[in-house]
Amino acid sequence: MTILVTGGSGYIGSHTVLALQEAGHDVVVMDNLSNSSEESLRRVAQLSGKPVPFHQVDLTDPEGLDRLFSAYDFTAVIHFAGLKAVGESASIPLEYYYRNVAGTINLLRAMDAHDVRSIVFSSSATVYGEHNPIPYIEKMEIGASNPYGRTKEQIEDILSDLSAADERWSVALLRYFNPVGAHPSGLIGEDPQGIPNNLVPYIAQVAVGRREKLMVFGGDYDTPDGTCLRDYIHVVDLAEGHLAALNHIASRTGAFRWNLGSGRGSSVLEVLKSFEQAVGRPLPYEITGRRQGDLPAFWADPSSALADLGWSTTRSLDEMCEDHWRWQKNNPNGYAS
């Protein structure tokens, strides 16, 4: 199979490209490099021993997409490309709807025109919104509470409508929980630009001396230690989930949705403790006010992915932190180091 991976030089994309190559697939990456560098793909090639053909194309460029689809005979697309910061999406919603939703429509039109009708899409647990009980189950009614989440929800709707209208389409909607960690080689990992929005990249930068201390956003939630609970998932487990989904839809049509999570919630302080263990020393932190929009706790019910795909997470929180730390320690300034 020849798989097109959009956003393939990014964090989850690069780990998935490696997993695809290791499974024997031919992979082509397209990315506009707005939040990544080609260095990630050079490192993937170093690990797999196979080059990764790369094309710098933007989702908002239909001609560029058409040229790309004319140049290869793709079997399927794994679609990671998009903007992903929840806070930023509330300040520049139009950019989010344009890049994520209009960009995906361009991609789907190019796929349809070139007879490629299998897609695995990066959705998010954020689509479950504020009102669902935990753990989240795929059949729940979704309703995101921020523009970023609404772009994911709208793309899920577009893909579901498409598959309902045309039975040739195979669609996997993967709802990720909180991806962290890095490939155990320490060669590829998450390289956020500017101040990290997410917990583990922030802790990693504190550990490496790039930030003074972790601000724990809220210590007065109704949870065992007062800090929020999230379902952290190792990025290599997540990459393997994409392979499982791709294999599943290869022989089926229709739209499928799966949670990719561990089914277990960990608190901010538990994550910090696990990271401190990996580093071998305590890390400075301060409990501050709550961050607007944060939910106290959520985690996945991952039983559908196990039943349908035979997939479940195998890597622990300690492994996530050890692997994330190896990547950060070896690459203190990310791919620019």
Residues recognised as catalytic: 148
User: How many CA atoms does the CB half-sphere of 7 hold within 13 Å?
Assistant: 23
Q: Cβ–Cβ contacts within 10 Å for residue 253, how many?
A: 14
Which residue has the CB atom at the shortest distance from ligand NAD?
Answer: 10
Q: Which residue type, as a one-letter code, is found at position 7?
A: G
- Specify the stretch interacting with ligand NAD by CB under 6 A; choose among 20-28, 82-90, 266-274, 304-312: 82-90
- Indicate the residue among 65 and 235 with the shorter CB distance to ligand UFG: 235
Interface size with ligand NAD, residues (CB under 6 A): 27
- Specify the stretch interacting with ligand UFG by CB under 6 A; choose among 58-66, 165-173, 175-183, 321-329: 175-183
Question: What minimum distance in Å lies between the beta carbon of 42 and ligand UFG?
Answer: 27
Q: Which of 118, 124, 163, 227 binds ligand NAD (CB under 6 A)?
A: 124
Residue 281 contacts by C-beta under 8 Å, 6 or more apart in sequence? Answer: none
Assigned token pair, 224: 């065992």
* Helix, strand and coil percent figures for the chain, each rounded to 5: 40, 20, 40
* Residue 125 DSSP code: G
DSSP letters along 294-315, please? --SB--B--HHHHHHH------
Question: What minimum distance in Å lies between the beta carbon of 107 and ligand NAD?
Answer: 9
Site string for ligand NAD, 148-177 (x = CB under 6 A): ----------------------------x-
Q: State how far the alpha carbon of 41 is from the alpha carbons of 103, 157, 249, 305, 335, in Å.
A: 23, 31, 26, 28, 11
Assigned token pair, 168: 């040739």
- Specify the stretch interacting with ligand UFG by CB under 6 A; choose among 70-78, 214-222, 234-242, 248-256: 214-222
Residues in contact with ligand NAD by the rule CB under 6 A: 7, 9-13, 31-36, 58-60, 80-84, 99, 103, 122, 124, 176, 178-179
Residues in contact with ligand UFG by the rule CB under 6 A: 84, 86, 124-126, 176-178, 197-199, 202, 214-217, 228, 230, 268, 291, 294
